[in-house]
A and B are shown apart, each in its own frame.
Chain A
Amino acid sequence: MSTITSPDFKANARAALGDRQLQRALSEVAPGLAARRSAARAGLPEFEALRDLGRDIKDHTLAHLDVYLEEFERKATAAGSIVHFAPTAEDARRVVRNICRQANAGVVTKGKSMISEEIGLNAALEGDGLEVVETDLGEYLIQIRGETPSHIIAPAIHLTQDQVEADFRRLHTKLPADRQLIEPAQLVAEARQILRQKFLAADVGITGANFLIAETGSSVIVTNEGNGDLTQSLPKVHIVLASIEKMVPTLEDVGTLVRLLARSATGQEISTYTTFSTGPRRPGDPDGPEVCHIVILDNGRAELLGSEFREVLRCIRCGACMNHCPVYTAIGGHAYGWVYPGPIGSVLTPALIGVAKASHLPNASTFCGRCEEVCPMKIPLPGLMRHWREEEYSAGDTPLLYRLGLRAWAAAAKRPRLYHTLARIGIPLLATLGRRRGAFRWLPLAGSWTRHRDLAAPQSRTFQALWADHKAGVPR
């Protein structure tokens, strides 16, 4: 499993806020993605109806997931694939390592896969002496820097173009030193030139899957670079890595979900490549792998099926919740401290690594509701984050001072007469203290507020007190 720094969320966030380069990268990309989604949505009148349809497809599938997983296994096996069920991350790593060992592999190419990040696959394969090459441009950029993705569809969103240029000049030393790397197209061309050799040299290609189709036993990948296609069709062995909730019943369902996916993710009507793959190369096929393995990971998800967190399994990993989140767009993805950042991560991460380690994540939300508003699968993300807070509170894990403060406030709020009496005494005092300036620059117990902003002083007395006077005929 990849390193977890979620318990240090606050420190991570502070560091991210002070990282000027990161702030520049975030300010350049995230608003653009939100604007493009908005335009794409406006261009499709049935978008909202599609969201309902998408949610229903996923809900139906999750309600009958056992049936569809079995059907998938049957159909995929009939098409010549070998299906492996992996209950845990370790099981999935072992399956993939064994396949690579049996294939006598030296070089492994990879299409983009968040499941691979979740199970820490690269480190495991490199530990076995394999050369692992990420072929998605964003993934390649972070691999050469030794970093992890900071966004589920734009893994290198935290980088700026000049950083990429510096990395390429540092690493691609066989290319002429005086070459031009000013335009994004020049950087892409250089990456392509490097990666092309790796595609041809690879013994095993590993991809994720956006969907697994039960009725055909196919896996589907959606990319903009075509790297996934080369990864899965050139090597002799193709391994698909997918989690159980990628399942959909039919080909037609994919048609519906794909219409939502790219629009929500990047504002494209459809991604450049949408590739369906069913089994290995058949006699007469011009290309394709000789062997196709499909590794289906659970890693705690089946447990969610019967819980109040079930709806999180509808996610199709478009990343729209991140692009629209005021917290994510302020601190970026690494601060969240594990594989899945942003609102979806704040719900999923506690389920996968335990709420004890990830307790900050569902708490660090303003509940502004934009994530739920843009989610193509209508996942009630704020409500699910609130569920985590409820679990934390009932387990007694809410920080003590906060809990005591909450209790004191609740004791008063539940007793209206006491509450209004306290307010009638306290508020005029506070108002008098703040009268000269109209606001406090500092106030005991309000330091978290006044560190960054002034606190308006109360006007005079409480509304309830003034209203009582008003009703009694006393002028204001």
Chain B
Amino acid sequence: MPGSAPQSAKERPRVGLFVTCLVDLFRPSVGFAAVKLLTDAGCEVDVPTTQTCCGQPAYNSGDKATAQQLARQTIAAFEAHDYVVAPSGSCAGMLKRHYPELLQSDPVWRPRAAAFAGRVHELISFLVNVRGVAAVDTKLEARATYHDSCSGLRELGVREEPRMLLRSVEGLQLVELTDAEVCCGFGGTFSVKYPDISNAIVERKAEHIAATGADLLLAGDLGCLMNMAGKLSRQGRTIAARHVAEVLAGELADPAIGERP
């Protein structure tokens, strides 16, 4: 990877947190969980205020110009950081895999995008693979199952990292989910452009989740989680849904996603 972490030897790297718009707007506790995990892993965390959204809604709707503008804005916001970390495989995938594609014919921004991409990581895989975190010091009595969000899994190869850290949570029993690697039907704007198909896909996912007997559903992407949690609660099921970072950081004071306070 070009520009990959020459600063990794630094004792206390400066990490820019890419909050992601969904965490910023809907679930700040995931942001605070990420800050805690990063701080515990010896990082200094900074949150640039010039970040908004990674641009995926525009990119996936064919509005390339807007996506390019947002890519430049995001890259500029994080140029002073050793690493850029996002609590989302989908947004991290956009930053890492798609920004270089988007800016490939821009002579000025192409090298900047490449250097930027080399510093981008999804939160949990960053903790494990870059910071060498092998366990967390936290407790939760629960039977949990984990859904592999598509972008984190297929664009970034995040699979074992969250499972490894979850296994270190005292009291947590992790049950594998049938078809964990199959899409939950969210797909960003897909969920509202084709609501009926999206619903059919998430219904199937909800059946698999219920079949595990878990009382807690975990994933690394808030979009997928809001989709699955929304379906589970509409079906009247009492399975709680949380971002994996909340459990790993012990940030559990707030109700689960969409849960009555």
Chain A residues close to B by CB (< 8 Å): 10, 13-14, 17, 326-327, 330-331, 363-370, 372-373, 386, 388-394, 398, 402, 406, 409-410, 412-414, 416, 419-420, 423, 427, 435-439, 441, 446, 448-449, 451-464, 466-468, 476
Contact = CB atoms under 8 A, between A and B. Distances in A.
B140 to A, nearest CB: 19
Nearest to A335: B197
B79 to A, nearest CB: 15
B183 A455 contact: no
A464 B58 contact: no
A461 B204 CA distance: 33
14 contacts: A365-B190, A390-B62, A406-B61, A413-B21, A414-B73, A435-B261, A436-B261, A439-B258, A439-B259, A452-B202, A453-B199, A453-B202, A456-B229, A464-B47
Interface stretch (B26-34, B106-114, B120-128, B160-168): B26-34
Contacts of A368: 150, 154, 182-183, 187
A364 B194 contact: yes
Contact of B194 (A10, A409, A453): A10
A420 B199 CA distance: 31
Interface of A is mostly: helix
Contact of A406 (B58, B191, B226, B231): B58
B150 A370 contact: yes
B185 A464 contact: no
A399 to B, nearest CB: 9
B247 to A, nearest CB: 16
Interface in B90-140: none
Interface string B13-48: 000000101011111110110000000000000010
B187 A366 contact: yes
Given A366-B190, A452-B196, A464-B49, 5 more contacts: A366-B201, A368-B183, A370-B154, A413-B52, A464-B19
A390 B21 CA distance: 23
B160 to A, nearest CB: 17
A47 B25 CA distance: 44
Contacts of A372: 154
Contacts of A438: 255, 258-261
B6 to A, nearest CB: 28
Contacts of A402: 61, 193
Main secondary structure of the interface of B (DSSP, over half): helix
B51 interface: yes
B55 interface: yes
Nearest to A13: B197
B2 interface: no
Interface residues of B, number: 70
A369 B155 contact: yes
A202 B182 CA distance: 46
Contacts of B63: 393, 406, 410
A416 B52 contact: yes
A439 B260 CA distance: 7
Given A364-B197, A437-B260, A416 B51 contact: yes
A454 B59 CA distance: 26
Contacts of B185: 326, 366
Contacts of B191: 448-449
A369 B64 contact: no
B238 interface: no
Nearest to A471: B47
A423 B25 contact: yes
A330 B182 CA distance: 12
A335 B38 CA distance: 47
B4 interface: no
A459 B47 contact: no
Nearest to A14: B196
A129 B254 CA distance: 73
Given A439-B233, A453-B231, A464-B24, A366 B183 contact: yes
Nearest to A457: B258
Given A13-B197, A438-B259, A439-B233, A459 B26 contact: yes
B8 interface: no
Nearest to A392: B62
A389 B25 contact: no
A458 B258 CA distance: 8
Given A364-B190, A391-B62, A413-B70, A459 B230 contact: no
B24 A463 contact: yes
B186 interface: yes
B104 to A, nearest CB: 13
Given A326-B201, A327-B201, A455-B258, A449 B195 contact: yes
Contacts of B175: none
Interface string B149-161: 0110011000000
Interface in B182-232: 182-183, 185-188, 190-202, 204, 226-227, 229-231
Contacts of A462: 24-25, 28
Contacts of B154: 368-370, 372-373
B66 A17 contact: no
B61 A398 contact: yes
Nearest to B153: A369
B135 to A, nearest CB: 26
A410 B58 contact: yes
A100 B64 CA distance: 50
A437 B31 CA distance: 23
